Every structure is written in C-alpha cells, then in structure tokens.
Structure 1
C-alpha cells in the first residue's frame, strides 16, 4: 500500500495527523503502534478522540474499527482514559 488512506479507517484527516508526527506508511504505523501514534497525535491535536485510537488500531490490524474485539476496545479505552 502506498497511501495511508488505503488502510481501513484512515481518511485524509487521520492521514494528515499521522504525517504530522512522521508516519507515512503502514510499516511505520505498525512499528510505533496505535497507542504511541495516538499519544503523539494527541500532543498536537487535543480534539483527538477515542474513535481515532480505535481507527488506528483497526488500521494496524487491517480491519474496520467496529470489528475490534471487546477486550481490545477495553484496553484502548483504559489507555485513552489515562491520557
């Protein structure tokens, strides 16, 4: 995949946020992980929400964020609530 927008859940807005923190490819996103990527996005965009975190995790897993397991969503919510 050449564009982040070709990944599930990633539109232009999230792609722009990822680019702003130095992530341009799926490999880079996988390497840093959804939580770390979201943390850096949150530093530059205080409107970043839980659904963006879900979207990033879904992109890493190659699925729509609505298909994430309950346990994954719970873990992500706990992470989000701690920020």
Structure 2
C-alpha cells in the first residue's frame, strides 16, 4: 500500500529520530523528498556523506523502502530486497 500524503519523515514506518536526522543531513526532509529520490537514492546519499561508515542494508535501504510502501522492513519480499541490493552494488 502506497500512501500519497506528504508526511514528515518521523511519521513514516521504520523511520526513527536517528534515520530521520541522517536523511535531513542529505536534504531529505519529508515523505515527498524520500519518494523523489527513492530508497536506493537515499541510501546512496547517506553513503556518500559517510563513506567510511558501514550502512546495514536492513537499517537504511530496507527501512527506506518500507517507509515508502508502509511495510516493516522485514516484510519486504526477498525478491524486492535482492533488487534493491543489486541497485546499490
């Protein structure tokens, strides 16, 4: 289910204060901004900002995807997870 409102990041599923703060640091402030760049784009932006930090895919990439689809990150199907991981290389 995709929600089409422009909620604040903290109102999205899987997005807590820490992840919202990281997204804010790279210019993503709302649901609209996250939809515009997508889960992969947001993950890349954070990785570029913190190149020496290991970003767990479940903590960032899957959380972003789940926020956009209103699912817990662990409920995203394996096929979709593999597609997302392939896109980040």
In structure 1, the residue matched to 2:3 is none
Over the aligned positions, Cα root-mean-square deviation in angstroms equals 1.4
Corresponding residue for residue 71 of structure 1:
79
TM-score (norm. length: structure 1): 0.87
Q: What SS class does the counterpart of residue 10 from structure 1 fall into? A: coil
In the superposition, the TM-score normalised over structure 2's length comes to: 0.82
1:55 Cα deviation (Å)? 0.4
In the alignment, structure 1 segments of 5+ residues that lack a partner are none
What does 1:1-83 correspond to in 2, within 5 Å?
A: 2-45=7-50, 46-51=53-58, 52-80=60-88, 82=89
Deviation at 1:2, TM superposition (A): 4.2
Structure 2, unaligned stretches of length 5 or more?
1-5
- Higher share of residues assigned helix: 1
Provide the aligned length of Structure 1 versus Structure 2: 81
* Distance across 2 between alignment mates of 1:3 and 1:70: 28
